[in-house]
Amino acid sequence: MSDTYSRRLALLSQPEALAQLKHCLHGIERESLRVERNGRLALSKHPKALGAALTHGSITTDYSEALLEFITDAHPDSAQTLAELDDIHRFTVANIEQEVLWSPSMPGHLPKEEQIPIGEYGTSNIGQLKYVYRKGLAVRYGKTMQCIAGIHYNFSLPDSVWSLLREADNDPRSAMDYQSARYIGLIRNFRRYSWLLMYLFGASPALDISFLRDREHQLERFDEDTLYLPYATSLRMSDLGYQSNAQAGITPCYNELSSYTDSLLCAVNKPYPEYQKIGSKQGDEWLQINTNILQIENEYYSTMRPKRITLDGERPVDALIARGVQYVEARCIDINPFLPLGIDLPQARFLDTFLLFCALQDSPLLSDAECPAATENFLAVVKQGRKPNLQLQRGDELVAMQDWGHQLLEQMQACAQLLDSSYATSEHSEALRKQVEKLNNPDLTPSAQVLASMREQQCSFSQFALKQSLQHAQTLSKPALDSNKTAHYQQLAEQSHQAQALLEAQDECSFDEYMADFLAQSK
């Protein structure tokens, strides 16, 4: 354990700091496809009872009209976050009639590309912009890729804790600059160690054959409808998932916030020849927002993002430049198909421990060699994380993944104890112990359990996933959400419809004029 890490742990063990740690914030965004009860993708419109996807803060859609996204508030206790996520699920399940929520990250049997419905957001200019952005994603990456679902885990330390650390470090930078630099340091450590999350929580070792659309691949055949890799943990996070040659040139190594924001600004304004061939418009029809490497910053795919809540009409990158990093968003979490919410409290407690460790541990700048090594380690674990004696690159040496994992979990024990002391619980330490067991026995990992269930039931990936989905639909329908909470979500739905109607009534310019203004602002 390094001196810096020990010193920070000792500082945060003081009563004043422990009281502040309870004000960490935790939020979850969970995506899930709506499917018919036979497992086929729902081609129906976003259910009216759920509200307007454009203006609802808790229930919206991601890429497809069928890809729901549930967003919790940020709560000081992960248990509160999970409780809210449970409420959102129960309300949704009660209002999607004969459809169910798909249980895993990878989609089941998909219809033809052209039949996958893109999310629609009404006739307002901002609603049309969201639609054009999704059309752009379709022409750039294909619609199939956009049907992958995941969990985004949002985490922040309270400003008061950063102040204590800044004072102890005797750091001359402003509070904003110090906090941003330390969050970027957290992200560097996340890049170094997130392969461990893929091993522990990866839950997509197999996929439906329709996903690949006859593309070339190195997967093995599980049965006539299913492809897999025997030691894979998360094919969702492999190069089979979100592929982009254009984005390959964006390589922010998170050594400072400005290099990250500069690289995004460059990509949003730099034309990409393949996209220029497609063009932004065909006659009067918009095909994509622009022909640059990224249409907007959110198109950049990364395992973690530095974030800042935006002001009305403000772009995410401008918010970061103006006011610094406020929280981080871990984006590489698979949905666990055995869990009704796709995630549970022990996993959340471990994620909090892991992220606190990344924040407090030394985080030297990533060297030119370490950046690609971090990527290679991550890809090695998503494709063959359960392979006996898998070796990863650590500095100049190759180390056994299992040994490195044990060392990291051992170093995290102090963070788990710190959080347990702050929240007056033992749940963080217990969650950590569960992960040690998974490292000792790969059969306990979700990815191994998915394959074991498919073998045991002698079923395809899609059959397994549908069975889990129907089971979760039952679990989430009994007991039903209580009447007060139901009324609350019904009110939110009604307010969102009213808000969308107001936006549509307020537009004073044509969509082309709106786009001209939007594109001028991004330069």
Q: pLDDT at position 97, please?
A: 85
Angle, CA 155 vertex, CA 149 and CA 156 arms, to 5°: 155
Please give the C-alpha separations between residue 295 and each of 140, 246, 265, in angstroms, as whole numbers. 10, 11, 11
Q: pLDDT at position 241, please?
A: 57
Say what angle helices 78-93 and 461-477 make with each other, to 10 degrees.
100
Helix (H, G, I), strand (E, B) or coil at 234: strand
Cα–Cα distance measured from residue 2 to residue 464, given in angstroms and rounded to the nearest whole number:
46
**φ, ψ dihedrals at 32, nearest 5°:** -160, 130
Residue 26 DSSP class: E
**Per-residue tens of pLDDT for the chain, all 523 residues:** 679 999 999 999 999 999 999 999 999 999 999 999 999 999 999 999 999 999 999 999 999 999 999 999 999 999 999 999 999 999 999 999 899 999 999 999 999 999 999 999 999 999 999 999 999 999 999 999 999 999 999 999 999 999 999 999 999 999 999 999 999 999 999 999 999 999 999 999 999 999 998 888 899 999 999 999 999 999 999 987 555 667 777 766 688 999 999 999 999 999 999 999 999 999 999 999 999 999 999 999 889 999 999 998 899 999 999 999 999 999 999 999 999 999 999 999 999 999 999 999 999 999 888 989 999 999 999 999 999 999 999 999 999 999 999 999 999 999 999 999 999 999 999 999 999 999 999 999 999 999 999 999 999 999 999 999 999 999 999 998 999 999 999 999 999 999 999 999 999 999 999 999 999 987 7
Cα–Cα distance measured from residue 424 to residue 432, given in angstroms and rounded to the nearest whole number:
16
User: CB neighbours of 6 closer than 8 A, spacing ≥ 6?
Assistant: none
Compute, in degrees rounded to 10, the torsion defined by CA atoms 256, 259, 265, 271.
Answer: -150
The residue count for the chain: 523
Q: pLDDT at position 8, please?
A: 96
Fold of the domain built from segment(s) 3-521: Creatine Kinase; Chain A, domain 2 (3.30.590)
- Please, are residues 348 and 26 in contact by the beta-carbon 8 Å criterion? yes
Say how many CA atoms lie within 13 Å of 138 toward its Cβ: 22
- Please, are residues 161 and 12 in contact by the beta-carbon 8 Å criterion? yes
DSSP string for 135-176: HHHHHHH-TGGGG---EEEEEE--HHHHHHHHHHHT--S-HH
- Please, are residues 381 and 375 in contact by the beta-carbon 8 Å criterion? no
pTM of the model: 0.97
Edge-to-edge strand ranges of the sheet holding 206-208: 206-208, 226-228, 220-223
Angle, CA 142 vertex, CA 137 and CA 147 arms, to 5°: 85
Q: Which residues in 483-501 are b (16+ Cβ under 10 Å) and which e? A: eeebeebeebbeebbebbe
242 token code pair: 């979100």
Q: pLDDT at position 228, please?
A: 98
- Look-up: residue for tokens 């500095």? 395
487 token code pair: 């009324």
87 token code pair: 């409420």
261 token code pair: 């924001």
Helix (H, G, I), strand (E, B) or coil at 310: coil
